[in-house]
Every structure is written in C-alpha cells, then in structure tokens.
C-alpha cells in the first residue's frame, strides 16, 4: 500500500469489517484518519488504539445531514 504520511483520509464504516481494516492499514502508513460509522463506542476504542492521528464522529451515511457534516470535517 502507498504511503499516506500526513494526508487526511476519510473512512466510512470504520467501526468494523473492511472499514476497520482499512483504517488499521492506513494508520500504519502514517495517514491522518477521520473515521465515520454508526457505532461510536467501537470507533472510540479503535481511535484510542491507533493513536492521536485518528479522529472520528458518528455517521449514518443514509442521513444526508450526517454525511454532509462528515465531509465538512470541522463540523463533527
């Protein structure tokens, strides 16, 4: 996988499955992550595990307002 040092990557569905695996892989390359998923507690645990370069917010991608807030990172 390419290096993403200091690049911000937004990941949806980051609390489990492919989204979580992607977050782990990208964090290992030095990316700064902003994760979104419905299960906030699982995201909190993942962010604590991956370190200070990971931020998150609860996100329901089917909710337009949630998604708009997610892509406008400072809103979360």
Residues 5-27 pLDDT 10s: 888 899 999 999 999 999 999 99
Specify the pLDDT at position 52: 92
The mean pLDDT value of the chain amounts to 88
Give this prediction's pTM: 0.82
Residue 67 has pLDDT above 90, yes or no: no
Burial of 59 (0-12, 13-18, 19+ CB in 10 A): buried
Integer-rounded Cα Rg, in Å, for the chain is 11
Residue 71 has pLDDT above 90, yes or no: no
């Amino acid at each position: 996988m390419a290096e993403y040092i200091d690049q911000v990557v937004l990941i949806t569905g980051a609390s489990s499955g492919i989204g979580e695996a992607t977050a782990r892989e990208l964090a290992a390359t030095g990316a700064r992550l902003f994760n979104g998923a419905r299960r906030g507690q699982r995201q909190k645990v993942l962010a604590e595990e991956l370190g200070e370069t990971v931020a998150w917010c609860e996100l329901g991608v089917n909710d337009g307002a949630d998604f708009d807030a997610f892509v406008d990172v400072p809103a979360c």
